[in-house]
Amino acid sequence: MIAALGRIKRAVREAIGACGGVDGAGMTAGRSRSVAGDWNNLNHSAFPPLDCALALDEVAVTRGDGTPILSALAAELGHALYKLPDVQAVTSDLSTALIDACAEFGDISDAIRAGLSDGKVCATDSTRITKQIDEAIQSLVRLRVVVNILPSGE
């Protein structure tokens, strides 16, 4: 449990950094600098409440950094987060999304084949394969969104 709190605290620190430090985090969350400083302190047990954590993560999202706090909380529960794409869809988009997802699986196969070419998978190979897996997951998320937003009349 202590290790989990440390990982979450590091994610909070990352979100605070995205806000420009404790001053920016305090202003973003509507709290004082000292409260944000407690959230940022690895040796302090304080964590931002939900409304503040969401505000801090929102700043990180606008910077393109993802959602450090939400992602850390999900990871501690054995989950991963994937951003839902903002798409408008028509029926023809369904086949395009499916083809894109299938192509990503080919990229995973290529990365694994390249990684195994010397008979072992090193850290660089693992990173490359994981990147391809993440891209495939994102393409499946897009496919899921397209399927779920298609107008019922099409």
Instruction: Write the pLDDT tens digit of every residue in 69-113.
Output: 999 999 999 998 888 777 777 777 888 899 999 999 999 999 999
Q: Is the pTM of this model over 0.75?
A: no
The amino acid at residue 119 is G
Q: Residue 85's pLDDT is what? A: 79
- Residue 20: what pLDDT? 96
> 148 versus 68: which is more confidently predicted?
68
Nearest to 144 by CA among 107, 3, 136: 136
For residues 130-150, average pLDDT = 90
